[in-house]
Amino acid sequence: MDTDDGSSFHEDMITIIDRLPTEDEYRRVRHLALHRSTEPPITDEQLADTLGACPHLESVVLSGVSSVTDRAIVILAEQAINLQGINLTGCDQVTDVGVLELTTKSLPLQWIQLNGVIGITDPAVSAIAKTCSRLIELELCDLPLLTPLSVRDVWSFSRKLRTLRLARCPLLTDKAFPSSLGDELLNSEDEKPLPPRPITWLDKLPPLFLRHSAENLRILDLTSCKITDEAVEGIVTHAPKIQTLILSGCAKLTDRALESICKLGEHLDVLMLAHVSKITDRAVVQVARSCWNLRCVDVAFCRNLTDMSVFEFAALKSLRRLSLVRVQKLTDIAIFSLAEHANCLERLHLSYCDRLSLEALYLLLRKRRDLQYLTATGIPSFRRKGIERFSDAPPPTCDSDQKAAFRVFSGSNVAGLRRFLDKEEQRLRDAEAKNIPFTARSDDKLDLY
């Protein structure tokens, strides 16, 4: 009898999405997901009353309730003793008070997302690291007050983490990450001492030496953090099985960082390096040859790269997504290489690579039949009449010049563009066979006149 009651209880549990549960649903709600704001908006008071009446919640997403405050979070922490995950992204009225309450209740939390909760400071993050022993996913993006002090605690105590996101935290420096230096270097007295200079308490932090490794870490996002090559070397040494590494906007990084990334080898499959403008072909070639399982690469705005890097990307057996936006040294030869060798390519971003010809991209479309998404905004050869009708609509925020240059092709539009260019190719051949001057047109007809 007891077993039947238990199984029926679990079968009766429900998930509520983008609305508050009704009174008769309170005791049956296991997952509450308020992703989008509603009309009328849910108030903090309504949310607090609801959370206080739902004792069996296991996951709560409140990113669609911008008015939520610490009061509702305190009530949730008190009531939901089986809470495993919480998403407070964009809930900018929540502070350390609410987060600390979550950490004091010994909840079985496995994932916490605090992106854009701008009032969060180090004590709350340190408490999460030290008390949530089951944590496997932690997102702390867009936190202007977060310093290396608490992130060091995350590395030290959150041993089970698989995902760590720290994007756009302006105070994070190398001191937030494990050091690869040996203790003997730290204690070396041979080096000439640096001249005295004003330093902050963060500068006084010693390098972070850890005796364990982050074997479980698979996803690390450090977008736009002020880190240097030393931090990347320490991270790779400490977390040797990272699969997704996002370093876009880390403008201080050089080829040396990429040399460290090579150590990830077959584990690495997503590498994002947009706006890491100091890197060169030499290091990119090393990464492509060392990390042969890469399926997604972003080197947008890396102005020093040339066709040589693309030759290496094209040789990657699993490459599905490649972003080369504003890599302006690229020529048609790079596109020919992708057309011949990138057998799995599905998404290609080439906007503002203004040397590319329509002929090269047509060859790519013919050869790569799996291509589902192509961006060619700002490429002069794609301004030709007839092509724009296959492009997706530009965002409403674009001005008239941006709309005129916008060329993004997705789904059936990629196939439509291919068919259009096929017909143009046929007209060209027919014109040559009949010795008739060929004129590019915007229609789909095959007749020459």
Which tens digit of pLDDT belongs to each residue from 106-163? 999 999 999 999 999 999 999 999 999 999 999 999 999 999 999 999 999 999 999 9
Same fold for the domain at 8-165 and the one at 173-179+212-305?
Answer: yes
Superfamily of domain 8-165: Ribonuclease Inhibitor (3.80.10.10)
Question: What is the C-alpha separation between 360 and 186, in angstroms, rounded?
Answer: 54
Question: What is the C-alpha separation between 117 and 96, in angstroms, rounded?
Answer: 10
How far apart, in Å, are the Cα atoms of 113 and each of 32, 63, 85, 86, 249?
Answer: 15, 10, 8, 6, 22
pTM of the prediction? Answer: 0.90
pLDDT score of 305: 98
Low-confidence ranges of the chain (pLDDT < 70): 1-11, 182-198, 201, 447-449
pLDDT score of 189: 46
Domain 173-179+212-305 has CATH 3.30.465.10: no
Question: What is the C-alpha separation between 138 and 13, in angstroms, rounded?
Answer: 26
Give the model confidence (pLDDT) of 367-411 as tens digits.
999 999 999 999 999 998 889 999 999 999 999 899 999 999 999
* Domains of the chain by residue range: 8-165, 173-179+212-305, 329-449
Cα–Cα–Cα angle for 358, 362, 366, rounded to 5 degrees: 175
